[in-house]
Amino acid sequence: MDRNRILELAADMTLEEKAMQMTQLSPDMLYHLSPSNLTGPLREWKFDDKQLWETGSVLGPSGAAYLRKLQEDYLKTSRQKIPLLFMSDVIHGYVTIMPIPLAQGCTFDPGLCEEAAAVVAAESAAAGLHVTFSPMADLVRDPRWGRVMESCGEDPCLNGRMAAAMVRGYQGENPGDKGRIAACVKHFAAYGQPEGGREYNTVDMSRGVLRDFYLPAYREAIRAGAALVMTSFNTVERIPATCSKLLLRRILRQEWGFEGVVISDYAAVEELMNHSVAADALEAGEKCIHAGMDIEMMSGVYAGTLKALLEQGRITEEEIDECVIRILELKNRLGLFENPWKDADEQEEKELLYCQKHLDTARRAARESMVLLKNQGALPLGEAGKVGLAGPFACTGNLLGGWHCEGRPENTRSLGEALQEKLGDRLVTAMTEPFAWGGERDVPDGAEEAALGLKDCEICIVAAGEPEWETGEASSKTNLRLSRNQEKLIHALHAAGKRVVLVLFSGRPLEIGPVLEDCDAVLQAWFPGSAGADAVADILCGSYNPSGHLSMSFPRSVGQIPVYYNYYNTGRPAEAKADSYVTGYRDCPNSPLFPFGYGLSYTDFVCEGLKISWAGDLLKASVRVRNTGKRSGGTVVQLYIRDVSASVVRPVKELRDFRKVFLEPDEEMQVEFSITEDMLSFYDEQEKWGWEPGEFDIMTGLDSEQVETRRIFVPAGAGREA
């Protein structure tokens, strides 16, 4: 359908039809069912049948048969035969669940991330969905916030690369193509920095911090072609993002040229009244229309106020049409006017969902996402002797993580099953009772019995962590330690003379300092998805050499949080003086327990010989990487830059590029990075993007702390793009 036809459709619509096209509801409401997720202010809004069957999109439906019927029933009532949009939170998998996004960030492999997203798209499309509310490009620095699991981490460069990869994986060349869906980047903006790590809380930061750290990943997702953007619940500069002209008009549309659809988060339009920026629904609707917010999710402000606002002259019909036309253009881009069912196909659904090919991708993604944090010769497991397995994640399928859509823990292979296949009768289990759903955040105390039951095992694997339902939305926590009885189990096994391998399942970095000394090895497995148990077993038994590197720093103590690598230095940096009058703590170092970019391997790598050279106006950095160990493996070579003296304070270092490399024993590789203008640039006090001539520290290494540094002077006119 061409644009003229879309304009004709919009011109022919009544105001009520336009308002409902701009409203998203639960599909259950159309059939007068009681939506299980119906919360908040939507209860107060009353929609008649005519309105319900004019809504432009629905939230959270699933299943090809159901969605085909829903679309058929809808089109029978639609005067203009404008199809419904089906949207859902398919964050890291539909039925075949990939590792959580925070774990995918640890792969440092955008290509693999794109491949995983393509699997998610194929399953979602066959099930009839059109849009996923993913990727979440929020930068995260506070693991107390439960939704860090949905982000790819604390760094703008990595986060942006992975968000763009997910967009490409979901949409391909065109979201209307078979097996593709539209991506909605969220939560715009700065949702990842709530005060105190508390969900839905206020966000307050300077404009420079917002632009330097928090906006770049959204921008990369937009550049990759994301079809939609979702606003965040929080305020930015004292204005809720849902009605922020700064974010939605100036930055998103004017500066970045975004022409797609903007949708609110759940009931966020109505919540402007709670924020005290709207006295009533009329003012809430007025502010969101002026900001260019196209679709209101799960509340009835637009449906209930647009007529009055128009009659009172508080909004214009042009503003309404602007929103409606963007929605129609999205439906057209998806090909829904020609084929309202798109890819919904019951037979393909049966063939694709949870198929072996998709599970193989999930297994590769899980293996590459896991990070070996410590290893004192305990891993990989030897070929002889009994191996103990204990802990609440030993014999459970609850390995999927929050937002696992249609994934089924009861159909997910457990670590015990995966290890049994590899170890046979060498495997001995004890104290494997899982967390009780919704119960105490601990397991029964069986530490002494476990130590006794595993007395014949020289090495014991403890599969520990946090319950998967304690991660995700509305899952903020102040205590990030393992539960009391899990810590007691680790201490008891160590005291019994066992070599302890801790396998951590979590949706966030945990505070593991209290047990670290009693562990001979620590593998951070995250919530690894449908094939996660097999991936863990592959690593423990040595058939895969871990290659993941941390996408988020691990704190020594909750009291340090937020702790992150790319901080601003102060006038009294801790490392500058030996006295007490420096920035620091009396009882804890400033540094993290494990820094961003950190990850061990079963082999050893050396990264050295950093050289800086010029090729015309282009600056290049090259470094030599060598596998000095006895087996093949992968690592991540990281390039960091520091602006030594600028017009505004700059971070002590910033990741600007990275390469994941795989080397055979004794193999050596020269890794070269091109240093462009963008890598030297920042937003100055006037919010202008650019770089300033002067001295720069160029750093390379295998994590953010252990780097080799060269200081160079870059004169005006240098550093041009390749």
pLDDT single digits (tens) 548-568 = 999 999 999 999 999 999 999
pLDDT-based confidence at 574, cuts 50/70/90? confident
pLDDT-based confidence at 578, cuts 50/70/90? low
pLDDT-based confidence at 300, cuts 50/70/90? very high
User: In 3D, which of 151, 106, 98, 118 has the Cα closest to residue 634?
Assistant: 106
Q: Give the pLDDT confidence score for residue 42 in this predicted structure.
A: 54
CA dihedral 282, 287, 293, 296 (to 10 degrees): -30
Q: Give the pLDDT confidence score for residue 351 in this predicted structure.
A: 97
Residues of the chain with CATH 2.60.40.10: 605-714
pLDDT tens-digit profile of 470-480?
999 999 999 99
pLDDT tens-digit profile of 235-263?
999 999 999 999 999 999 999 999 999 99
| pLDDT > 70: percent of the chain | 97
DSSP code per residue over 148-169: GGGS--S-HHHHHHHHHHHHHH
pLDDT-based confidence at 441, cuts 50/70/90? confident
**Backbone torsions φ then ψ of 392, nearest 5 degrees:** -70, -15
Spatial CB neighbours of 46, under 8 Å, sequence gap ≥ 6: 300
What is the spatial distance between Cα 506 and Cα 103, in angstroms, rounded to a whole number?
Answer: 10
Per-residue pLDDT at 487 exceeds 60: yes
What would the mean pLDDT of 562-591 be, rounded to a whole number? Answer: 89
pLDDT tens-digit profile of 205-240?
999 999 999 999 999 999 999 999 999 999 999 999
pLDDT-based confidence at 43, cuts 50/70/90? low
What is the spatial distance between Cα 527 and Cα 138, in angstroms, rounded to a whole number?
Answer: 19
Residues of the chain with CATH 3.20.20.300: 3-11+19-32+49-348
Token output for 237:
């500069």
Distances (CA, A) of 548 to 9, 534, 539: 51, 16, 11
Q: Give the pLDDT confidence score for residue 438 in this predicted structure.
A: 72
**Backbone torsions φ then ψ of 659, nearest 5 degrees:** -135, 130
In sequence order, what are the beta bridge partners of 295? Answer: 263
| pLDDT > 90: percent of the chain | 93
Q: What is the chain's mean pLDDT, rounded?
A: 95
What would the mean pLDDT of 403-425 be, rounded to a whole number? Answer: 96
What is the spatial distance between Cα 171 and Cα 284, in angstroms, rounded to a whole number?
Answer: 33
**Backbone torsions φ then ψ of 614, nearest 5 degrees:** -115, 140
What is the spatial distance between Cα 197 and Cα 84, in angstroms, rounded to a whole number?
Answer: 36
Is the pTM higher than 0.85? yes
Between 30-39, 41-50, 282-291, 574-583, the lowest mean confidence (pLDDT) is in 30-39
What would the mean pLDDT of 705-716 be, rounded to a whole number? Answer: 96
What would the mean pLDDT of 665-682 be, rounded to a whole number? Answer: 97
The overall longest dimension of the chain from CA atoms, in Å, is: 81
User: Whose structure tokens read 């967390």?
Assistant: 435
Q: Give the pLDDT confidence score for residue 36 in this predicted structure.
A: 47
Domain 3-11+19-32+49-348 sits in CATH 3.40.50.2300: no
Catalytic residues: 265
Per-residue pLDDT at 721 exceeds 50: no
- Displacement of CA 620 from its chain's centroid (Å): 31
435 DSSP 8-state letter = P
pLDDT tens-digit profile of 386-398?
999 999 999 999 9
What is the spatial distance between Cα 661 and Cα 637, in angstroms, rounded to a whole number?
Answer: 7
Q: Give the pLDDT confidence score for residue 45 in this predicted structure.
A: 77
Q: Give the pLDDT confidence score for residue 482 in this predicted structure.
A: 98
What would the mean pLDDT of 632-636 be, rounded to a whole number? Answer: 98
What would the mean pLDDT of 370-374 be, rounded to a whole number? Answer: 99
Q: What value does the CA radius of gyration of the chain take, rounded to a whole number of Å?
A: 26
pLDDT tens-digit profile of 637-656?
999 999 999 999 999 999 99
Per-residue pLDDT at 37 exceeds 90: no
264 and 233 Cβ atoms separated by less than 8 Å: no
Token output for 130:
């059109």
Token output for 662:
């795989």
Distances (CA, A) of 558 to 475, 480, 602: 16, 7, 30
Q: Give domain 375-545's CATH number out of 3.40.50.1700, 1.10.287.3510, 3.40.50.150, 3.40.50.2300.
A: 3.40.50.1700
What is the spatial distance between Cα 220 and Cα 156, in angstroms, rounded to a whole number?
Answer: 10
Q: Give the pLDDT confidence score for residue 41 in this predicted structure.
A: 46
Per-residue pLDDT at 722 exceeds 50: no
pLDDT-based confidence at 378, cuts 50/70/90? very high
User: In 3D, which of 121, 128, 97 has the Cα closest to residue 408?
Assistant: 97
Distances (CA, A) of 566 to 138, 645, 689, 690: 16, 16, 19, 19
pLDDT tens-digit profile of 70-108?
999 999 999 999 999 999 999 999 999 999 999 999 999
Q: Give the pLDDT confidence score for residue 1 in this predicted structure.
A: 86
Q: Give domain 605-714's CATH number out of 3.40.50.11810, 3.40.50.970, 3.30.70.260, 2.60.40.10.
A: 2.60.40.10
